[in-house]
Structure 1
Amino acid sequence: MINFLRCIILISTLVSASVTWAAEPYDELQTEWAKGKYELSGSAQEKFLEQLLSRAEAAKQANPNSAEVFAWSGIVYSTYASVKGGMGALKFAKQAKKDLEKSIELDSSALQGAASTTLGTLYFKVPGWPVAFGNDKKAQQYLDAALALNPKGIDINYWLAEYAASKKDSAKALQYLAIAAAAPARDDRPVADKGRRLEVETLKAQIEAP
């Protein structure tokens, strides 16, 4: 009887441990992206993010039906395109678009609409036709969809603020920034939160500057 109980306890412990140790397939991309985005700069940042692209590809191959993995791959590609800049960045922006669209197709609500947030941002950041796919109407469409899923989120409100600022609508931009600044902290994303809050403060200062 004692041995039986010991066996049950051991099994329970192992099951509990496996649950504790289990990681989401996108965790590495999420963590490493934050490091590359907010803790590095210059050539070191570009090289780090370029290397992260291969891990994004591997994650997609291993998890072909994960909306979260495709969303994070799109975010990584989008960030790398932004860092790289110039005409050479367009192919990476296009891959980001492809991954984000796939994520939305699989589950538009995954990660509280992160794919829609990033896709909307891409649409207002990249050049329009005939150079690239930039489109203000689609930018607003995807950003609004993301806001509906996560109305108090720091990321979506920051990007809506930047979009409004790009349209010279300072009042609306400041409204979104106030919501972003008040967004609750994400316990699993301290680096991203710290970096984004700094971006919120910087954009606010730029808008309010005389």
Structure 2
Amino acid sequence: MKKYFRYALALLAAALIPLGAAFASVPDEVARLQQNWEQVRYKAPKEAQEQQFERLLADAERTAAQYPRSADVLIWYAIIESTYAGSKGGLGALANVKNAKKTLEQAIAINPEALSGSAYTSLGSLYYQVPGWPIGFGDDKKALELLKKGLAINPDGIDPNYFYGDYLFRKGEYDEATRVLNKALQAPPRPSRKLADEGRRGEIAQLLDKIAAKRK
């Protein structure tokens, strides 16, 4: 009888596992979200990105519900939601940005060094891009603190240096921004993220052009 009861419990537990979880591991799901984000961000036409990010956000939300203790999944969920908010624009996007902030804070609480400190970098970028009180939670001082934490974990990475350089550019610190952005261009390539590296280098080049224009 006990053996049958244990068997029945095992069947019930298996039935409660979402179908995707039976065939996919956390690293697989993270890679899928990352690759889909890169395709939309750097390959989809600008006019199609909002709709495509909206679909990807629904997928990321389901994945985060499936793996609520995975900092890696939560980081990508937040990145996708904040990028969707950027493509959506307007005050209606603030709810998405605030949710992305909350998700990144959850990821940091689980594992602050996940994805080479990406949660700190992503959260810092939100703090300097979002309007301040009373509309949003924007705070340049908090942004700088978080960006530096991301850099402390991944000092040579392309993303933490790019966002720090962008922050410095917005603050009018053009010499230091140029130095940091050039360092970002020297970042070692990421074998599984060729498209993202190419896209980010393009964004860095555009930002360096803006700095050059400001100096004329």
TM-score range, shorter chain: 0.7 to 0.9
Alpha-carbon distance in structure 1 between the residues aligned to 2:192 and 2:93: 30
Structure 1 alignment gaps of length 5 or more: 1-20
Structure 2 length-normalised TM: 0.85
Number of positions where the alignment pairs a residue of Structure 1 with one of Structure 2:
190
Partner in structure 2 of residue 118 of structure 1: 122
1:176, distance to aligned residue in structure 2 (A): 0.7
- Report the RMSD for the aligned CA atoms in angstroms: 1.2
Alpha-carbon distance in structure 1 between the residues aligned to 2:97 and 2:198: 25
- 1:105-150 per-position Cα deviation (integer Å, ceiling 9, x unaligned): 1000000011111100000000000001001111011100000000
Alpha-carbon distance in structure 1 between the residues aligned to 2:179 and 2:170: 14
1:64, distance to aligned residue in structure 2 (A): 1.1
Segments ≥4 residues shifted beyond 2 Å: 21-25
1:61, distance to aligned residue in structure 2 (A): 1.2
1:99, distance to aligned residue in structure 2 (A): 0.8
Alpha-carbon distance in structure 2 between the residues aligned to 1:128 and 1:64: 29
Structure 1 letter corresponding to 2:82:
S
Alpha-carbon distance in structure 2 between the residues aligned to 1:61 and 1:175: 40
Structure 1 length-normalised TM: 0.88
Q: 1:202 aligns with which of 202, 206, 210?
A: 206
1:183, distance to aligned residue in structure 2 (A): 0.4
- 1:11-63 per-position Cα deviation (integer Å, ceiling 9, x unaligned): xxxxxxxxxx9643311110011111111133311111000111111111111
Determine whether 1:109 maps to 2:113: yes
Alpha-carbon distance in structure 1 between the residues aligned to 2:113 and 2:76: 14
The equivalences for 1:1-210 within 5 A come to 23-209=27-213, 210=216
Structure 2 letter corresponding to 1:164:
L
Structure 2 alignment gaps of length 5 or more: 1-23
Alpha-carbon distance in structure 2 between the residues aligned to 1:167 and 1:138: 14
Percent of aligned positions that are identical: 44
Q: Is the 8 A contact 1:25 1:63 kept in 2?
A: no
